[in-house]
A and B are shown apart, each in its own frame.
Chain A
Amino acid sequence: MTDTHTGPFIAAIDQGTTSSRCIIFDRDGRIVAVDQKEHEQIFPKPGWVEHDAAEIWKNVQDVVSGAMVKAGASREDILSIGITNQRETTMLWDKRTGKPVHNAIVWQDTRTDVLCKKLGGDVGQDRWRRETGLPLAAYFAGPKIAWLLDNVPGLRERAEAGELLFGTMDSWVIWNLTGGVNGGVHVTDVTNASRTLLMNLDDLKWNEEIAAEMGVPMQVLPEIRSSSEVYGTVTGGPLGGLLAGVPVASALGDQQAALFGQTCFSTGEAKSTYGTGTFMLMNTGEKLIHSKSGLITTVGYRIGDQDPVYALEGSIAVTGALVQWMRDQMGLIKTAAEIETLAMSVEDNGGAYFVPAFSGLFAPYWRSDARGVIAGLTRYVTKAHIARAVLEATAWQTREISDAMVKDSGVELVTLKVDGGMTSNNLLMQFLADVLDAPVVRPMVAETTCLGAAYAAGLAVGFWDGVEDLRVNWRRAAEWTPDMDPEVRDREYKNWLKAVERTMGWQDE
């Protein structure tokens, strides 16, 4: 046993929604050093969210050199660099100057709502679901490109003249790392491309018809590559001095990176990340499953020339955010962790159910007319019962997505791998195992997103031989086994579903 890490290492860049981070990992997948820097959130109008991509690129360079210094690592120690990123955030830049032509439009931004409705026409939001696996919703990148071209003067002409490049954050970071205006490679990976509404899920190529309908010129689009291969090497710029020649060797959207970091490499393996919201992904192997239950079909990852691995994805808008709401808006707790203390002061929910449909219901319902409800109130109910209902809401919402996944894939959920901040909540994790009737396991490395990018980048340069090498690194830190009377589970689930019913149709549309 030793705490001094010796190289070689893999560096992973996590270009996230609120910050950019760089983590350096050793061969065992242990963290050697971390550096992190937040960037500005720009809110020009209600519902609009932007990032300054130039600031982000500067921060990325800072955190990479920062992590290198903290690790005491030199160029020779770093075998490759991997990238994971906030998905769908969209930007355009000038390929000659290397300067962004507008702020990046962040995934949360809803300005393309109207455009998406228009594009859906008579068919509605499922118009391109067959091809892309996605509903026509404001998150996805394609319509954001169209918005920029149509609303920023001069951009459409410049795009058609071939002067502009589009990218999600992976493309922007890779292009800059590999030389920028001096020969930077313009690529994206299959997972990021699968969030544009522009890529065919079956052949993993840009769909020219959809691009034409959407008004996106083909020449702005990057080349689609696998998630794990050498795209180029670090060239020029401040990082060139530090890391020149180091291969840039992976790109994965953040949730797919977490799936990879959790080593969910077999069909039926699933991970759920509990943050402000929750994203659950299930590996469906080489089979592309079109969901009939309101889930999204996406690419899980693709390693080099191997067949792509697909995934079903379900997202929950409000999980950790509900605990924050209890703290900040209700003032019932002082810290997020105290929700557990309050909830544990009672035996059960006292008959109360809390459905946090604050901005509608996501998977599997997709009801924007739903609003939050606390159901089953009597004079008996205390704030402790409500705290319990708050935690139970996260578990039941996971159960609904898990049910949809099992239904769509025909594969039983064997265990659920969890990560994210809420996994420190023991009561919640136990309740989750109880309502899923499946073991819930937490891995030892909490940074599964960065780890996934590092794994993919290490595989590409032979640092690890294959996914079996990576499985060996996965260590169970805790496991919660189901311990609930099936009758109680069924009764509670029924009550939860009744409460969900009551959220719908609240908002007149």
Chain B
Amino acid sequence: MAKNIQSLERAAAMLRLLAGGERRLGLSDIASSLGLAKATAHGILRTLQHEGFVEQDPGSGRYQLGAELLRLGTTYLDVHELRARALVWTDDLARSSGEAVYLGVLHQHGVLIVHHVFRPDDSRQVLEVGAMQPLHSTALGKVLAATDPVAHAELVDAKREPFTARTVTELDEIERTLDLTRAQGYAADNEETFEGVAAVAAPIYDRRRLAVGSVGITGAVERVCRDGELRPELIAAVRDTARSVSRDLGAKPF
């Protein structure tokens, strides 16, 4: 057997000991059943407690499994839950911006559209829920790559196709854009995916400040931009929406 880290093995053994039913154990019980010195056991327990994996009952001083451990398996945010929470805010964004709204999450090597609100005019539009978009050229994708390390890794590995003359495919330049995205809190797509189409998107966070998706608007470049720049009021509206959805998911105000 390869050499493992002993303290992690001991911590795992403690968690197993405390698992299974409503079990609370004192320090000496834990130490003796694992054959450890009390001081050693206490050190590990204290670390586990700090991480929230173990809790100490204030009355008896006994240890039990912590709430954080229970949360580990359930932190995955269901995309349909995300859509349900985003519904009112994205409707209002479409209404106030006059543009189509998209909500995206990372899926395999790209952005999966999980929610789409039509542009509020009477034109014929097709629901794009379920469609995939590229990470490197779209506003939704850049936001994901800038805020989620997994999405970033996907972008680095991806074949970065030049969709228009404006599509950036050089990794160095993309990294600079992602830095800017992190600093500004939003990303743009100025005719980088489709000719004549511009977009702006911002990140959605959950209660642990992990990025879970991105939300943005997409429309004709003549409407979304002015003098070659994104209209600031549209950026503000998109960021407001992202903040509102994040707040609904339990993210602290930021």
Could you tell me if A444 and B117 are in contact, using CB atoms closer than 8 angstroms?
Answer: yes
Query: Which residues of the partner chain A approach B233 to less than 8 Å between Cβ atoms?
Result: 1-2
User: Residues of B at under 8 Å CB distance from A?
Assistant: 74, 78-81, 83-84, 87-88, 91-92, 94-98, 116-118, 120, 122, 125, 127, 129-130, 233-234, 237, 240
Please give me the residue from chain B that is nearest to A441 by CB atom.
Answer: B118
Could you tell me if B78 and A335 are in contact, using CB atoms closer than 8 angstroms?
Answer: yes
Query: Which residues of the partner chain B approach A479 to less than 8 Å between Cβ atoms?
Result: 118, 125, 127
Closest CB in chain B relative to A447 CB, distance in Å: 9
Closest CB in chain B relative to A157 CB, distance in Å: 51
* Candidates B87, B96, B127, B237; contact of A446 at CB < 8 Å: B87
A1 to B96, CA, bound (A): 6
Could you tell me if B78 and A477 are in contact, using CB atoms closer than 8 angstroms?
Answer: no
Please give me the residue from chain B that is nearest to A479 by CB atom.
Answer: B127
B interface SS class? helix
A339 to B79, CA, bound (A): 11
Give the contacts of A479-497 with B (CB-CB under 8 A).
479-480
Tell me, yes or no, whether A337 is within 8 Å of chain B by CB.
yes
* Candidates B81, B118, B234; contact of A477 at CB < 8 Å: B118
Could you tell me if B117 and A1 are in contact, using CB atoms closer than 8 angstroms?
Answer: no
Closest CB in chain A relative to B250 CB, distance in Å: 13
Tell me, yes or no, whether A17 is within 8 Å of chain B by CB.
no
Tell me, yes or no, whether A445 is within 8 Å of chain B by CB.
yes
Query: Which residues of the partner chain A approach B96 to less than 8 Å between Cβ atoms?
Result: 1-3, 30
A477 to B127, CA, bound (A): 9
* Candidates A1, A425, A478; contact of B234 at CB < 8 Å: A1
Give the contacts of A1-58 with B (CB-CB under 8 A).
1-3, 28, 30-31
Please give me the residue from chain A that is nearest to B85 by CB atom.
Answer: A337
Closest CB in chain B relative to A49 CB, distance in Å: 28
* Candidates A334, A339, A444, A478; contact of B74 at CB < 8 Å: A334
Could you tell me if B91 and A477 are in contact, using CB atoms closer than 8 angstroms?
Answer: yes
Supplied contacts A30-B95, A425-B80, 6 more A-B pairs, CB within 8 Å: A340-B80, A424-B80, A426-B80, A445-B91, A475-B120, A476-B125
Tell me, yes or no, whether A341 is within 8 Å of chain B by CB.
yes
Query: Which residues of the partner chain A approach B97 to less than 8 Å between Cβ atoms?
Result: 1
**Given A1-B237, A341-B78, A480-B127: A444 and B120 interface contact (C-beta under 8 Å):** yes
Please give me the residue from chain A that is nearest to B129 by CB atom.
Answer: A426
A341 to B81, CA, bound (A): 9
Query: Which residues of the partner chain B approach A3 to less than 8 Å between Cβ atoms?
Result: 96, 237, 240
Could you tell me if A337 and B84 are in contact, using CB atoms closer than 8 angstroms?
Answer: yes
A425 to B129, CA, bound (A): 11
Could you tell me if A337 and B78 are in contact, using CB atoms closer than 8 angstroms?
Answer: yes
* Candidates B74, B83, B94, B237; contact of A424 at CB < 8 Å: B83
Could you tell me if A335 and B81 are in contact, using CB atoms closer than 8 angstroms?
Answer: yes
Query: Which residues of the partner chain B approach A30 to less than 8 Å between Cβ atoms?
Result: 92, 95-96
Tell me, yes or no, whether A338 is within 8 Å of chain B by CB.
yes
Closest CB in chain B relative to A115 CB, distance in Å: 41
Could you tell me if B127 and A338 are in contact, using CB atoms closer than 8 angstroms?
Answer: no
A278 to B84, CA, bound (A): 18
A28 to B237, CA, bound (A): 18
A421 to B98, CA, bound (A): 24
A446 to B86, CA, bound (A): 12
A336 to B127, CA, bound (A): 22
Please give me the residue from chain A that is nearest to B116 by CB atom.
Answer: A478
Query: Which residues of the partner chain B approach A1 to less than 8 Å between Cβ atoms?
Result: 96-98, 233-234, 237
Closest CB in chain A relative to B38 CB, distance in Å: 39
A444 to B89, CA, bound (A): 10
A446 to B91, CA, bound (A): 8
Closest CB in chain B relative to A441 CB, distance in Å: 9
Could you tell me if A476 and B80 are in contact, using CB atoms closer than 8 angstroms?
Answer: no
Query: Which residues of the partner chain A approach B78 to less than 8 Å between Cβ atoms?
Result: 335, 337-338, 341
Closest CB in chain A relative to B90 CB, distance in Å: 8
Query: Which residues of the partner chain A approach B74 to less than 8 Å between Cβ atoms?
Result: 334
The 3 closest A-B pairs by CB, nearest first: A337-B80, A337-B81, A475-B120
Could you tell me if A477 and B117 are in contact, using CB atoms closer than 8 angstroms?
Answer: yes
Closest CB in chain A relative to B8 CB, distance in Å: 30
Could you tell me if B91 and A337 are in contact, using CB atoms closer than 8 angstroms?
Answer: no
Query: Which residues of the partner chain B approach A444 to less than 8 Å between Cβ atoms?
Result: 91, 94-95, 117, 120
A31 to B129, CA, bound (A): 26
Contact with B along A328-350 (1 / 0, CB 8 A): 00000011111111000000000
Please give me the residue from chain B that is nearest to A427 by CB atom.
Answer: B80
Query: Which residues of the partner chain A approach B84 to less than 8 Å between Cβ atoms?
Result: 336-337, 421, 424
Query: Which residues of the partner chain B approach A28 to less than 8 Å between Cβ atoms?
Result: 95
Query: Which residues of the partner chain B approach A424 to less than 8 Å between Cβ atoms?
Result: 80, 83-84, 87
Query: Which residues of the partner chain B approach A475 to less than 8 Å between Cβ atoms?
Result: 94-95, 118, 120
Query: Which residues of the partner chain A approach B116 to less than 8 Å between Cβ atoms?
Result: 478
